[in-house]
Amino acid sequence: MLHNPTGASLSLRSAHQLLQLSEKHGLHIVEDDTYAHLAPPHLPRLAALDGLRRCFYVSGFSKILAPNWRVGYLAAPLAWVDRLVDTKLLSTLTTPALTERALAHCLEQGLLRRHAERVTQRLDAARARTVAAAQQHGFSFAAPPRGLFGWVDTGCDTERLAEALLDAGWLIAPGTLFHATARPTTLMRINFATTQDAAFWATLRRTCRHISPH
């Protein structure tokens, strides 16, 4: 699974250790694989390794088809299924039948698979261009660039950086938004699809020079 905002993912070793801790302490794990269609195919899934004994696997289709297609799915340990179905019926009842039928058509006809292949190919190309531009301007990534988002170390306070860039017409997500407790950080999230322009990285470099790290 791909982490938002860093784009990082669990290694097979880390996944195994996490499952061992879950077993040892009697814990359950909810695995949010929202960006499953944008992830490299070889990434380990906790639910697959665990066989759905202690893992709940959650994913959907809004990140690959359309944001307003709020159709998802959940795989859970058998003992929890009835309770989860009851909770779903009592809280949101159902999702719109029209989007469910449209999604079923996409799955049955292979449209989703072909669409996902096209999107990931375009995203791979966009990511390569973005990473090259970032590195040319002296920026590095705190996690290996994967999926839709990158976690960039700017070397300066990204909250102040975001304010300065907004005045210049660029919208970024400062790292402080992703911490449980707000604190200064030099890290920021970028979207590979929208930061391919070398002008963005040139503006970022110039702006960073005028902002102290703290």
Q: What is the pLDDT of residues 132-163, one digit of tens each?
A: 999 999 999 999 999 999 999 999 999 999 99
Q: Which residues of the chain are under the pLDDT cut of 70?
A: 212-214
What is the reported pLDDT for 160?
92
CATH number of 12-109: 3.40.640.10
What is the reported pLDDT for 66?
83
The whole-angstrom separation of Cα 185 and Cα 183 is 6
- Residue 185 in tokens: 């950080």
- Residue 65 in tokens: 């088809």
What is the reported pLDDT for 213?
54
What is the reported pLDDT for 116?
94
The whole-angstrom separation of Cα 159 and Cα 173 is 8
Look up residue 174 and give its amino acid.
P
What is the reported pLDDT for 212?
60
List the domain boundaries for the chain: 12-109, 124-208
Residue 79 sits at φ, ψ, to 5 deg, of -65, -15
Residue 26 sits at φ, ψ, to 5 deg, of 70, 35
Burial (CB count <10 Å: 0-12, 13-18, 19+), residue 4: middle
The whole-angstrom separation of Cα 87 and Cα 108 is 28
Question: 124-208: CATH homologous superfamily?
Answer: Aspartate Aminotransferase, domain 1 (3.90.1150.10)
Write down the pTM of the prediction: 0.84
